Amino acid sequence: MNLLIIDTSTRSTVLGLARGDELIDRSSVPGASHSREILPSIEALLAETGTSLKQLDGIIFGQGPGSFTGLRISVGVVQGLGYGLDLPLVPVSSMAALAQACRGRGSETDIFVALTARLEEIYYGGYTVAGEIVEPAISEGVADVADLEPLPAGAWAGVGNAWALQDKIESATGVHFTAIQEETIPSVQALFTLGCAGLAAGQTVDALNASPVYLREEVAQKSR
């Protein structure tokens, strides 16, 4: 099976191709222009591996939360390819992918993702380890650290870039994090692992229903 993997929820373009048992990672360095690089990068990856667009069996994509512009670009590309090639699309939470990468580095604790939003507001998500993959333990959201809800009892590790606020996060959630990993970019391997699980579970969408997740927008709608 040939699966294209894309995530541009950060300033980096995460790009890979799974061909059978081979996983090829051609992600870019932070700061690369999504709008200029994403399509040429996909073409170069396919040419390098001798894979045509018609040989693709599906696309795994990070649906955020993350950069508004980055998400719109990647989802637009995914929609175009999915519609034109009639491919199943597998959405994966970009924060869950960060937790999955943490799991892949050996963490056997529950995992809390905390990403900087603005001031003392963070994007957050909590995940539990279920075998080889992580699953949501709490709903993803965005909130001021003082408004975070207590986390379920247990051992927790943290990942993300909001840990300058660790004391306040621990005070609000009621847990002490056993380890912290400063990581913000989802990995091809983590996206692939979660995407394959989603594909096996039938959690696919068609091109017209592929959409990014904007947590800030959801919160604003609730407030209104």
Residue pLDDT, tens place only, 48-75 = 999 999 999 999 999 998 888 888 888 9
Nearest to 122 by CA among 25, 221, 219: 219
Largest CA-CA distance found in the chain, in angstroms, rounded: 53
DSSP state letter for 178:
E
Q: 151 and 175 in contact (C-beta within 8 Å)?
A: yes
Whole-structure pTM value: 0.91
Q: CB within 8 A of 24, min separation 6: which ones?
A: 16, 17, 18, 45, 48, 49
CATH H-level superfamily of 94-181: ATPase, nucleotide binding domain (3.30.420.40)
Backbone angles phi, psi at 91, to 5 degrees: -80, 140
Q: Would you tell me which CATH number, out of the four given (1.20.1560.10, 3.40.640.10, 3.30.420.40, 3.30.390.30), belongs to the domain 2-93+186-214?
A: 3.30.420.40
Beta bridge partners of 110: 156
Chain segment 184-210, per-residue pLDDT in tens: 999 999 999 999 999 999 999 999 999
The interaxial angle of helices 34-49 and 68-85, nearest 10 deg, is 40
**Alpha carbons 110 and 99: distance in angstroms, whole number:** 9
Beta strands 2-7 and 14-19 are antiparallel
Q: Which of 70-84, 115-129, 205-219 has the lowest mean pLDDT?
A: 205-219
Identical fold between 2-93+186-214 and 94-181: yes
Q: Is 150 helix (H, G, I), strand (E, B) or coil?
A: coil
The single-letter DSSP state of residue 138 is: E
What pLDDT, in 10s, does the model give residues 6-27? 999 887 899 999 998 899 999 9
Q: Domain map of the chain by residue range?
A: 2-93+186-214, 94-181
**Per-residue pLDDT for 45 more than 90?**
yes
Percent of the chain whose predicted confidence (pLDDT) is above 90: 73
pLDDT-derived band at 224 (thresholds 50, 70, 90) equals very low
Chain length of the chain: 224
For the cut 70, the answer to whether the pLDDT of residue 126 exceeds it is yes
- The pLDDT of residue 213 is above 90: no
Cis peptide before 150 (omega within 30 of 0): no
pLDDT reading at 223 higher than 60: no
The DSSP line for 74-132 is HHHHHHHHHHHHT--EEEE-HHHHHHHHHHHTT--SEEEEEEEEETTEEEEEEEEEETT
